[in-house]
Amino acid sequence: TQLSGKDTDGHTVFTIAIVDVGGGELQLRTTLFEALDNGNDTLFDEAVDLLLPSGALELQYQVTRSDAEGDTVVASDTILLADDENSVFGFDDDGPTQTVTANAGAAAQLEVALDETTGDSDHYAIGETADSYVNDDVAGALAQRTTAVSGGLAALFTASGSHGSDLAGTLTPSLTLVGVPAGGLATSLTATHGGAITLFADSATQLSGKDTDGHTVFTIAIIDIGGGELQLRTTLFEALDNGNDTLFDEAVDLLLPSGALELQYQVTRSDAEGDTVVASDTILLADDENSVFGFDDDGPTQTVTANAGAAAQL
């Protein structure tokens, strides 16, 4: 009245049993203990049947009748449960689950302002309000700023999921910069020497803003600052035309008149069977109205001092 389906390790994967559900009423009970490989990794709920390539499983009902003298007759018949083409037993697959959601206010944690002024002192025009100048000079560049998101860029997203009954396979997260086509994306920025700047994708994790001379004016990159913690680093190599010649320290933002730049977090989860689910979400970095990238101008400096005793020479 009971069968067990066992794997090559001797583990019982399922049982089929005739059970008394009460009052002598018999029913057929099938119990699944371990997950099955359902074959198609592009589907999560496909069914697989119990088939028997070289045999047949049947439910037999047999009645043995004896009279008072002891004469006995036996009669029986069967119902086919499974053979090589037919089965009453079907098992639906279980696939992994995954969600990824950008946290509220995440973009604000990515805002950076680079100042193209070099040295410890900022330069201001007459009457211009001084800001809290931060010297962000680096060797080989005018300025460089790296985000300081606690826990790294991945902490800006909430990700959750399960491998399901088929148990763990692989879990692969990735952070990329998306939205820049192969031919580049026009920006609102202009280099002081070199003209209009176009944004190009060097890779999935680095972008370059190049002027009409092909010079790299700035880069935006996802970098590992150590221990696998990823941050966003912006580096300015050449000065920008900030527009207002009456101000020396005005800011200009990276805007994209005909596109959008986003930070994407994607998680790919596969179970032990190979069923795979991909989930992702993005944070807007820049479009035609919004930007987390700001660049402060640098103005000229000049001093004039009359030399001591100059009047006597006149």
Residue-wise pLDDT tens digits, 70-82: 999 999 999 999 9
- pLDDT category, 37, cuts 50, 70, 90? confident
User: What is the pLDDT, as a whole number, of residue 93?
Assistant: 87
**Average pLDDT over every residue of 234-254:** 79
272 pLDDT above the threshold of 90: no
Question: Considering the entire predicted model, what is its pTM?
Answer: 0.80
Q: Which residues contact 175 (CB under 8 A, 6 or more apart)?
A: 153, 154, 205, 222, 230, 263, 264, 265, 266
Higher-pLDDT residue of 263 and 250 is 263
Check the CA dihedral 9-10-12-16 and report its sign: positive
DSSP secondary structure, 172-224, as one string: EEEEEEE---TT-EEEEEEETTTEEEEEEEEETTEEEEE-TT--EEEEEEEEE
Q: Which of 151-160, 164-173, 192-201, 282-291 has the lowest mean pLDDT?
A: 164-173
Higher-pLDDT residue of 128 and 209 is 209
**Average pLDDT over every residue of 190-217:** 96
- On whether the CB atoms of residues 208 and 164 are closer than 8 A, the answer is no
The whole-chain average pLDDT of the chain stands at: 91
What distance, in Å, lies between the first and last C-alpha atoms of the chain? 125
- Amino acid identity, position 145: R
- pLDDT category, 248, cuts 50, 70, 90? low
**Average pLDDT over every residue of 243-248:** 62
Identify which of 24, 41, 17, 25 has the alpha carbon closest to the alpha carbon of residue 269. 41
- On whether the CB atoms of residues 186 and 198 are closer than 8 A, the answer is yes
CA distances from 54 to 70, 79, 84 (A): 40, 18, 7
With a pLDDT cut of 90, the percent of the chain lying above it is 74
Q: Rounded to whole angstroms, how far apart are CA atoms 287 and 190?
A: 16
247 pLDDT above the threshold of 60: no
**Average pLDDT over every residue of 172-179:** 98
Residue-wise pLDDT tens digits, 102-139: 999 999 999 998 888 776 776 666 766 777 767 677 89
Q: Rounded to whole angstroms, how far apart are CA atoms 234 and 184?
A: 18
**Average pLDDT over every residue of 281-310:** 88
Residue-wise pLDDT tens digits, 92-105: 988 899 999 999 99
Identify which of 262, 256, 252 has the alpha carbon closest to the alpha carbon of residue 294. 252
